[in-house]
Amino acid sequence: MFDLQTVMLAFIQLAILLLLGRYLKRKTPVFQRLHLPESVLGGLLGLALGPQVLGALITATAGPQSALAEGLFSEAVLTVWSQAPGVFINIVFACLLLGETIPAPKTIWRLAAPQVFFSFTFGLGQYVVGSLATLLILTPLLGANPIVGSLIELSFAGGHGTAGGMVEVFDQLGFPEGSDLALALATVSLISAIVLGTVLADRGRRLGQVATVVPNVSEPAAVPALHPEAETPAQQRRRQQLLASMLMDPLSLNVSIVAIAIGIGWVLLQGLQSIEALTWGQQGLTVFQFVPLFPLALVGGIITQVWLERTHRTALVVRSLMQNIAGVALDVVVIAAVATMSLAAVGDNLAVFLILAGLGIAWGVFIFLWWAPKIFPDFWFEKGLADFGQGMGVTSTGILLLRMVDSQNRTGAFESFAYKQIFFEPVLGGGLLTATSPVLIAQWGLRPFAAITTGLLLLCFGFSLAFMHRQAASRR
């Protein structure tokens, strides 16, 4: 147990690690070239200064009675850190769509359809590759837990945030080392995404696949942005009217709105668990009992946003503040999760880790080079590279790689990539399927899960081919 002062001390130390991560990045050219987030560097530094690295070295040289035998951080602080990811990941997902300006559904689908098909093919393929490898190699030859079949998508597309937020789920499923493997895979995938993305971008320029000069393309401003950078004067006046009678800071108000979204998600999860307990759960099939809160927090954010729009109160939500709130929460998730990652668990499963990492990287490169030129009717390299970055790292990685090949957004790839998140995020990359996949494997077994994800992948290919045929017919 720990008190509030211990919690405050734990977060002060996290903040110091974040600043040190920033300092390391500024002083280390290789970190700058890799564009590694400061939160990842801070988490790795916390891991190095903790009991598993510094503490182990001190113990080996000066004995277990040394003052630094447990590293620089107390056991109570490490306990706070280990619990933080599962809490703060709910804030990240609740903020995703709060304050968004979403255009008409037809406009969204017209711009995002190829990106949606490609992203789902990318993510579902990660499940298929991981499941088949686990069925054929990892479980029969290495004795791996079947749940590792879900780790490529959870780590590569989900990233550190999702991997850190799944700690409690893996513990409940009797596979605590799963979260450590997921975090290690997320680190490898993030670095691989940036390094390989840079290599692919250079290759694309040399082969003439990057549209450096794009004729007859409408200006980006003609397409409504999913993340508007500036408010209109009318929106600013409306916000001033709504806040005039409030003695509340806008940040406090927006934090309260996030809390409402998380609360709605919690009520939804409790309702689903109650329905399950009264129905199919009585036959022993329990799924929602193990589902974490964060995918439902995303749904709660959508419900809250719809309610604000219906009641003409959207001006209360400041999108830039929502992004800042989510950014702080994500930094906490990543630093705390990486700093408390078990190196012993990764070492004990090193062969499994290396195979999954290799297969995940190979699938990402293959699907980009083979499928992106077919599914995208135009600017396949730019649009595919953005999804390659997200499927191998995080959303910001996809945007980073896109800027390498289309810094002025002449292709319109950013808009289609942004609109795609509306369809993709609730399901994969940390969405409902990502959160439930370890549970489904534990409840149903890996063979049925592999069969279902393979069927979904083939179905996605079928829809993609039909879309491509329709697009080709419309251009004739």
Position with higher pLDDT, 369 vs 228: 369
Instruction: State residue 365's pLDDT score.
Output: 93
Give domain limits for the chain. 1-73, 85-208+292-475
Nearest to 403 by CA among 156, 186, 210: 210
Of 408, 412, 406, give the one whose Cα is nearest residue 376.
Answer: 412
Q: Which residue has the higher pLDDT, 310 or 417?
A: 310
pTM above 0.85, yes or no: no
**pLDDT above 60 (res 39):** yes
Q: What is the pLDDT of residue 475?
A: 67
Q: Which residue has the tokens 């093919």?
A: 121
Question: What pLDDT score was predicted for residue 412?
Answer: 74
In this prediction, residue 226 has a pLDDT band, given cuts at 50, 70 and 90, of very low
**Position 462: which residue type?**
G
Residues ≥6 apart with Cβ < 8 Å to 152: 126, 127, 129, 130, 185, 356, 359, 360, 363
pLDDT at 476: 64
Most confidently modeled of 36-40, 212-216, 245-249?
36-40
**pLDDT higher than 60, residue 220:** no
Instruction: Give tens-digit pLDDT for 359-403.
Output: 999 999 999 999 989 888 888 888 888 889 888 876 667 776 777
Band (227; pLDDT cuts 50, 70, 90): very low
- Sign of torsion over alpha carbons 105, 109, 111, 117: positive
Residue 308: closest CA among 241, 261, 244: 261
Spatial separation of the C-alpha atoms in residues 212 and 16, rounded to whole Å: 42
Q: Which residue has the higher pLDDT, 97 or 332?
A: 332
Nearest to 438 by CA among 446, 447, 429: 446
Give residue 195's Cα distance to chain centre. Answer: 19
Tell me the two tokens of residue 20. Answer: 């040190």
Nearest to 157 by CA among 179, 176, 175, 182: 182
Q: Which two tokens stand for residue 135?
A: 């069925």
Side-chain half-sphere of 33: how many Cα atoms within 13 Å? 7
Q: In this model, does residue 192 exceed pLDDT 80? A: yes
Report the pLDDT averaged over residues 15-21.
95
Who has greater pLDDT, 300 or 93?
Answer: 300
Residue 284 predicted with pLDDT over 70? no
Q: In the prediction, which pLDDT does 214 show?
A: 42
- Buried b / exposed e along 457-475 (16+ C-beta atoms within 10 A): beebbeebeebbeeeeeee
User: Mean pLDDT in the chain?
Assistant: 83
pLDDT for 290 equals 67
Number of neighbouring beta carbons within 10 Å of residue 101: 14
Over 50: is that where the pLDDT of 228 sits?
Answer: no
Q: Is 206 exposed, middle or buried (0-12, 13-18, 19+ CB in 10 A)?
A: exposed
- pLDDT value for 34: 66
Q: How many C-beta atoms lie closer than 10 Å to residue 251's C-beta?
A: 12
Residue 312 CB coordination number (10 Å): 9
Q: What angle do CA 65, 67, 73 make, to 5 degrees?
A: 120
Of the ranges 68-77, 219-228, 260-269, 376-385, which is most confident?
A: 260-269
Amino acid (one-letter) located at 97: L
In this prediction, residues 206-221 reach a mean pLDDT of 55
Token pair for 313: 């109160």
Question: Percent helix, strand and coil across the chain, each rounded to 5?
Answer: 75, 0, 25
Please check the confidence at residue 237 and state whether its pLDDT lies above 80. Answer: no
